[in-house]
Each structure stands twice: as structure tokens, then as C-alpha cells.
Amino acid sequence: MIYKSLEPSNHLKPFIKSFWLIDSEADRTIRPQKIIPDGYPELIFHYKDKFKANISGEWYLQDNLLIAGQIKNHFHLENTGAIGMIGIKLQPCTLKLLFDFDMHLITNKVISLENSNLTGLFSLFEVLKQDISFDKMVVAIENWFTETINELDISTHKTVLSTQLILDTKGEIRVRDIIDKFQISERSLERNFRSYIGLTPKFYCRIIRFSNIFSLVNSDGFSWSDITYLAGFYDQSHFIKNFKEFTGEEPSSYGFDTMNIANFFLAK
């Protein structure tokens, strides 16, 4: 299995988290996968066989062109043949900033591009369909985003800045501190997060704090008690409960070293 990831150019980092590719080469082995929340929406193109997904209790066959919103719990995927995916992991507010798309509409959903009103993305997916190397693909995607952004200034955008503060603090910040820092009412903050991200500020903090666990686990010399403290949890039972909520497993039984899609994105 091939896993590749590239960071965007500096001028696109406020809008794009990363570009990624996963390819099984000639292997068509069926591999059930568990997908875990990480706090970022995605655009995904399956250039080989489609996947089946189970997000809300029923399995269905996904389309080739997908838009993934914020997810609040883990869900399951299963390939139907050869795996070949190219993805763009977006910053949390990007779809709202560029296309005025209300993100709460796709919370806990992975939808087909055809079933969305994001017509502005059709030309981007045409770029993704090109038969070129991953590196050249990234250049072409970056050119598309550079033209689309067209000098959009988000330097004073309170929702973007609030989200970045959560990311910078690894989710260890109180909502009250965000309200005080940016002089915004709690009601306005909640409304903006619903529209721009699809989650409440408090829940988004929880996801980002949870995702930081994977970086800590992959650091040398930390015990579970160390990780509990460094990840900002009050005690180990609270830590285990939170981890199990997002993964369906206790941390001691989770396969942090397993090569799968979830660990590819979360295990820094």
C-alpha cells in the first residue's frame, strides 16, 4: 500500500491542510477501515474502484467524487477492489469561505459532488481526473485554488481566527476565552461555527484535543498517565471515555502502529 502526503505552498496553508494519495497498486484485497474524526473536511476522488461506507448504520456504495464534512464519531469503510484515492484535506472554514457553503449540512456525512450545490468544485474535480503524477497533480490543484481564492483576505475573520486558536492550543482552550479574546457573543460564535465548520466550538475543541493524542503516543518515553495529562484530560477515566467515544475502542487496545487510513492521517 502506498501512502503519500504533501503540504501546500505557504500562501495556500490558510485554506488547505494537506494533499494525500492512497494506492493499493495491484492488490485488490478487501480491507475494512475505521475512519476517525480529525477536525478537517475533505475533497476525495476515487480513481480506481469505489468504496462502501457505513456512517449511520447502513452500508451504501460511495460515488467517485466526494465531499466529506466534519464527523463526530468513527465510521466504517470497505474497498470493493483496487484502492486509488486522491484527497485534499481542507482547513475547517474553506468551503464556507470560498463557496458560501453551510457546513452543518454535511456534518456526519460524505456526499457525492453530484448531490451538492457546490458547482464551483466541478472544475477542480476535472483537474483531479488528469492522468498525471501525484506531484504534478498537486501543482495543478494549487493553481486552481490560487485562481479561486483571488486574494481573499481572511486575516481579520473572527471565525477563522477562532478556529486557528483552537488548532494552535490543540483544543485546550475554553469557549469563554475565545469569546473574550475576539469580543463576540456566545450566540454569534455558536452560529458562526455551525455555518463555517458544522460543529459547536466546544465539540470542535474536543475533536482537536482528541486528535493530539496520536502525536503524543508516537513520541518516545510517554506513559498513559503522561499522555492523559499532556492531552488536557482531568484523569485517566475521562481520557479513556473520550478516546472510546471517538474510536469505539479503549486506547490500550487500539492499534496505533497499524498501517491504515485513520493512522495515516492522525499518527503524525
Q: In the predicted model, what is the mean pLDDT of residues 235-256?
A: 91
Task: State whether CATH 1.10.10.60 applies to domain 158-266.
Answer: yes
pLDDT of residue 226: 86
Position with higher pLDDT, 117 vs 84: 84
pLDDT above 90 covers a percentage of the chain that reads 78
pLDDT of residue 268: 57
Q: In the predicted model, what is the mean pLDDT of residues 42-57?
A: 95
pLDDT above 70 covers a percentage of the chain that reads 99
Look at domain 2-149 and name its CATH class.
Answer: mainly beta
pLDDT of residue 100: 94
Statement: residue 230 has pLDDT above 90: no
Residues 91-115: pLDDT tens digits? 999 999 999 999 999 999 999 998 8
Tell me the C-alpha distance between 245 and 59, whole Å. 21
Type of residue found at 22: I
Tell me the C-alpha distance between 71 and 58, whole Å. 16
The chain-wide mean pLDDT, for the chain, equals 93
Domain residue spans of the chain:
2-149, 158-266
Domains 2-149 and 158-266 share a fold: no
The Cα-based distances of 69 to 52, 172, 187, 247 in angstroms read 17, 23, 22, 17
H or E, element range at 123: helix 122-128
N residues, the chain: 268
Interacting residues of 164 by C-beta distance below 8 A, sequence separation 6+: none
pLDDT of residue 220: 66
Residues 56-78: pLDDT tens digits? 899 999 999 999 999 999 999 99
Interacting residues of 97 by C-beta distance below 8 A, sequence separation 6+: 15, 152, 154, 157, 160, 196
